[in-house]
Amino acid sequence: MSRGSEWGRWDLHVHTKSTAKNDQFGSISFEDYCIQLFKKALERDIKTIGITDYFSIENYKKVKKFQDEINDQAQFNDDEKKLISKILILPNMELRISPSTGAGSLINLHLIFNPSKIEAIENQILNHIQMVHGNGNKYQLNEYGLKSLGRLYLSEDQLNDQNLALKKGVEQFCIPHTELIEVFEANNNLRSEILVFVANGDNDGVSGLKSHEEILQQQQASAFSLRNSIYQLTDGLFSAKPSDHKYFLGH
């Protein structure tokens, strides 16, 4: 029997314990965090969860491992374990891209990966995304590259602190959207395995580029063209504004 579309409640923007920025989960262990995550997902009938972190999918891997081993967890009954095993867990990497908005923030962009293609995406996409620093060196979008970048901002007595180096690297890493376009074009076979979402607000979204209109016109460039180029890179927008919904549907 043929079936049509089915509605499901998704949450594609869930940060975890040990998220790279603004971790406010306190002293809870990662395992206890996962227990609470899936209890809430069952309560609210969530079908898909996007595990989100800045410039990394390591916490996604930890949550997926917990889900894969759900039968070993005594905190859930058999029916709950079956439901948890059916929840789709997606890796969602949160990036910051330039240029900055009129509010002085970098643009918030998310890459949601096909979980069955993680190894290929890490090796062919993420390891080839690079930030060019003012010192002329390039830093890759992986743990080694982020730590190397972060050490540039540490004092000599802090250089051996791996966690601090990674934190500083995450704070500093950003790329122009054209870097993503070039990497995607060079690995076109994987482009369909990645969904790109961008924020559309005035603070850290594409709409915030409107305040650059006058400057760009003076430079004989078009803010419209810049915004349009970013929109063309993406598959969807993060926006809670009904006006955005109508605008992008052509109404």
- Quick one: 75 and 25 in the same domain? yes
Judge whether 200 and 239 are in contact, CB under 8 Å.
yes
Is residue 221 assigned to a domain? no
Q: pLDDT class for 231, splitting at 50, 70, 90?
A: confident
Nearest alpha carbon to residue 171 among 34, 64, 22: 22
Q: How far, rounded to the nearest angstrom, does the alpha carbon of residue 225 sit from its chain's CA centroid?
A: 24
pLDDT digits (tens, 9 = 90+) for 36-59: 999 999 999 999 999 999 999 999
User: Per the confidence metrics, is the pTM higher than 0.75?
Assistant: yes
What percent of the chain lies above the pLDDT cut of 70? 88
The residue among 186, 207, 226 that closes a domain is 186
- Quick one: 82 and 137 in the same domain? no
**CA 126 vs CA 121, 143, 192: distances in Å:** 6, 11, 15
Domain containing 148 equals: 126-186
Helix (H, G, I), strand (E, B) or coil at 175: strand
The residue among 161, 186, 211 that closes a domain is 186
- Quick one: 14 and 87 in the same domain? yes
Nearest alpha carbon to residue 51 among 108, 90, 8: 90
Across all residues in the chain, what is the average pLDDT?
87
Q: pLDDT class for 150, splitting at 50, 70, 90?
A: very high
- Quick one: 71 and 144 in the same domain? no
Q: Which two tokens stand for residue 77?
A: 């009954």
Q: Is 98 exposed, middle or buried (0-12, 13-18, 19+ CB in 10 A)?
A: middle
The residue among 186, 206, 236 that closes a domain is 186
What percent of the chain lies above the pLDDT cut of 90? 63
Give CB contacts under 8 A, 24+ apart, made by 231-234: 231/198, 231/206, 233/177, 233/180, 233/181, 233/184, 233/196, 233/198, 234/109, 234/196, 234/197, 234/198
Q: Is the pLDDT of residue 219 over 70?
A: no
Q: Is 154 exposed, middle or buried (0-12, 13-18, 19+ CB in 10 A)?
A: middle
Sequence-ordered list of residues with C-beta below 8 angstroms from that of 64, at least 6 positions apart, any chain: 51, 89, 115
- Quick one: 24 and 68 in the same domain? yes
Check residues 232 and 222 and name the one with the higher pLDDT: 232
Query: What average pLDDT score do residues 145-162 get?
Result: 94
Q: Is the pLDDT of residue 184 over 70?
A: yes
- Quick one: 21 and 78 in the same domain? yes
Dist CA 47 CA 251 (whole Å):
30
Q: pLDDT class for 214, splitting at 50, 70, 90?
A: low
- Quick one: 18 and 75 in the same domain? yes
Q: How many domains does the chain have?
A: 2
Q: pLDDT class for 208, splitting at 50, 70, 90?
A: low
Is residue 51 assigned to a domain? yes
